[in-house]
Amino acid sequence: MAQPRKRRAHGEDAIYWDETKGRWYGSVSLGFDSGGRRLRRKVSGKTRTEVKARLKELHSDLDAGVQTSASYTVEHAVADWLKEGRDGRAPSTVRRDERILRPVLASIGDIPLHALRTHDVRRALSELAGSRSSATVALMHNCLVRAIRHAESADHVRRNVAALVKPPPGQAGRPSRAMTQTRPRRCCARPGTMVTWARTSSCR
């Protein structure tokens, strides 16, 4: 005789398989809103074990006071940082940071901030490093770290995963346009040309 299905205790986590999406899901009950609707936070994964680990992490976030919703994405975090965390910066600097982060957001901007992992950041930067200089990649990484740090200070996330990633090297920069020894000789070939020698570092 089949055993009756055991009911979950109040507040107990739920783990289930979604056939239409082909993924495991887990949910945590957070009580009810003012309208009487149940509030839940959900996580998903390819395996039941993965979902159980993410539920454990979610409980840790909740215990630490982190209240990020699943709809709060990396793009939202960057937008908040550009709006609230750049006080005193020149408008041109803010526009530069926004432009620098645009390609990064095209890759990971739609990922919920609480679900962002180091491999997501590493993959995005590695892809961008194939067509950008090392200095640009480093600036992208720096801006992303500061944006997530701002979200961390607002209790949107418990850990800044971008800070754990080392930016990959990008493409070699353009050759220096500083005057070389061969160029002055060409100038000296013209009568009346005066050349002043200077160390490259002193001209910067």
**DSSP state for residue 162 in the 8-state scheme:** G
Assess contact for 160 and 148: CB atoms under 8 A. yes
pLDDT in tens, 117-171: 999 999 999 999 999 999 999 999 999 999 999 998 888 888 899 999 999 999 9
Alpha-helical segments (H) within 18-156: 48-63, 74-84, 91-108, 118-129, 134-153
Q: Which two tokens stand for residue 203?
A: 């001209």
Q: Which residue has the higher pLDDT, 157 or 47?
A: 47
Confidence at residue 202, expressed as pLDDT on a 0 to 100 scale: 46
CA distance 132 to 137: 7
CA distance 69 to 43: 11
CA distance 145 to 45: 26
User: Residue 99 burial by CB count (10 A; 0-12/13-18/19+): exposed, middle or buried?
Assistant: exposed
CA distance 21 to 55: 19
Task: Collapse the DSSP code of 109 into the 3-class scheme (helix H, G, I; strand E, B; otherwise coil) and give the result.
Answer: coil
pTM: 0.61
CATH superfamily of 74-164: Tyrosine recombinase, N-terminal domain (1.10.150.130)
**Percentage of the chain with pLDDT > 90?**
46
Assess contact for 161 and 148: CB atoms under 8 A. yes
Convert 19-50 to b/e letters by CB count within 10 Å (16 or more is b): eeeeebebbbeeeeeeeeeeeebebbbeeeee
| Rounded mean pLDDT, 170-191 | 58
pLDDT at 50 over 70: yes
Confidence at residue 151, expressed as pLDDT on a 0 to 100 scale: 92
Domain residue ranges of the chain, discontinuous segments joined by +: 14-63, 74-164
CA distance 186 to 184: 5
Could you tell me the sign of the dihedral formed by the alpha carbons of 175, 105, 60, 5, in that order?
A: negative
- Count of Cβ atoms closer than 10 Å to residue 129 Cβ: 19
